Amino acid sequence: MTSEPATETADHQIATTISHSATTVPQRRAWLRVVPAMFLLAWGGNHFTPLVHMYEEDGGYAVWQANLLLGMYVGGLIPGLLVASALSDRRGRKPILVAGMIAAIVGSVLLGLGFDLFWLLCVGRVLAGIGVGVAMSVGTSWIKELSSPPFDHKAGITAGARRPALTLTVGFAIGAAVTGCLAQWGPMPETIPYAVHGLLSVVALFIVFTAPETLTKERRSAHHWWRGLRIPLVGHRTFVRLIIPAAPWVFAAAGVAYAVMPALVQDELGEWTTMYATVLTVVTLGAGALVQNLVPRINRWTGGRALVVGLTLMTFGMGLAVVAALAADPIMAFVVAIVLGIAYGICVVAGLVIVQAIAEPKDLAGITGVYYSLAYSGFLLPTVLAALLPLMPYSISLGAVAVICLLSLSAVSLASKARA
């Protein structure tokens, strides 16, 4: 008589355990459902990069116009970062990321149709920028939340920074690689790369609909979204002294590596310039992706100064860029891309770790948006350097950049010592 209740209790415990396992394993991997969307948003932001030379040679655009198109999506990225983060705090992560995906798809359509229309290309790049901005602020926050309890109890403390940063970096790299190969060897290079991105994005859109919403109605902001644009953490001592001087160098490094370096050696490469630009883009971002998982170790080894290590490499890489400009040597430019790629990878994660450490959950999306806005402001550097070409060659302007980078390193190093 007494064994039946015991048996029923045991059966109930087994059933509960099985049910718990069935729900927790998918929950623990729920962040992976957001990855395809973030990956393709990053792809859409960077697939223009290896095509800069094609627009100059085949489209008849001036150097400054092609570089302006490269940096044009910063005009969409910063609103995408700041406004989208505020909207997501009020409306939830999923609907805003979906809206970013739709903007990116429309952007690719316009880019594919607008080869001969500069203004249409500009609009397409701005829409691509909005998509990247949404990925960086809302997508990063969403994956961070899906990498934490109650969704994931086993993720490491830095997983919330590493997972989205790595997803974005790989998306930037693969997007450039696929686009460069299609442009070099495929038909209709001004159209097909954008069509491929658009079709894959539609698939990712369906996948992201299955991801769980992390910001439930009870946790959402009750204020109007524009109040979310006010982010008090911007005045935080750590943010002001460490993040503000360091963040712009994150994508300044990437821009110099795969936009300026190919321009230095295009006379040596001729028709292979597009493929060379593709290789440099993949190498830069590939080096950055490989080193990102080492950032927690670098922080342990250096007492939390991974950002200083990254900026040190950044300064060294900018110095090498001056040598590459003087030599106009493709091999030297390749080495510069590796060094700056490693520096980029360390800095982007090290900065994000600091930002997430000082942020409360309600401020996370907003301060992440500000961080990436600062980081992406550096992507305008190639446009500035190209505009200065009538006044000075790359060797001189890059020398000035290296000096400014050294000053930033000094400021961050001193602030890091004071913080320790």
Query: What pLDDT does 18 receive?
Result: 31
* Count of structural domains, the chain: 1
pLDDT-based confidence at residue 52 (cuts at 50, 70, 90): confident
Domain contains 193: yes
Query: What pLDDT does 226 receive?
Result: 57
Domain contains 11: no
- CATH, residue 394: 1.20.1250.20
pLDDT-based confidence at residue 366 (cuts at 50, 70, 90): confident
Domain contains 40: yes
Q: Among 11-25, 236-250, 334-348, which range has the highest average pLDDT?
A: 334-348
- CA–CA dist 135, 40 (Å, integer): 9
Mean pLDDT of 60-78: 83
pLDDT-based confidence at residue 21 (cuts at 50, 70, 90): very low
pLDDT-based confidence at residue 192 (cuts at 50, 70, 90): very high
Asked whether 151 and 212 are in contact (CB, 8 A), the reply is: yes
| One-letter amino acid of 402 | A
Q: What is the DSSP string of 160-176?
A: HHHHHHHHHHHHHHHHH
Asked whether 124 and 107 are in contact (CB, 8 A), the reply is: yes
**Mean predicted lDDT score pLDDT of the chain:** 84
pLDDT-based confidence at residue 83 (cuts at 50, 70, 90): confident
Query: What pLDDT does 102 receive?
Result: 96
Tens digits of residue pLDDT in 131-190: 999 998 889 888 888 887 777 666 666 777 788 888 998 898 899 889 988 988 889 989
Query: What pLDDT does 228 receive?
Result: 56
- CA–CA dist 372, 352 (Å, integer): 9
Share of the chain above pLDDT 70, in %: 87
Domain contains 291: yes
Residue 89 scores a pLDDT above 50: yes
Domain contains 8: no
Domain contains 242: yes
Domain contains 277: yes
Range of the domain at 285: 34-214+223-419
- CA–CA dist 354, 333 (Å, integer): 31
Domain contains 315: yes
For residue 381, how many C-alpha atoms fall within 13 Å in the half-sphere facing its CB?
Answer: 29
Q: Which of 257, 419, 233 has its CA nearest to residue 345?
A: 257
Query: What pLDDT does 343 receive?
Result: 96
pLDDT-based confidence at residue 391 (cuts at 50, 70, 90): very high
* pTM for this predicted structure: 0.76
Residue 106 scores a pLDDT above 60: yes
pLDDT-based confidence at residue 25 (cuts at 50, 70, 90): very low
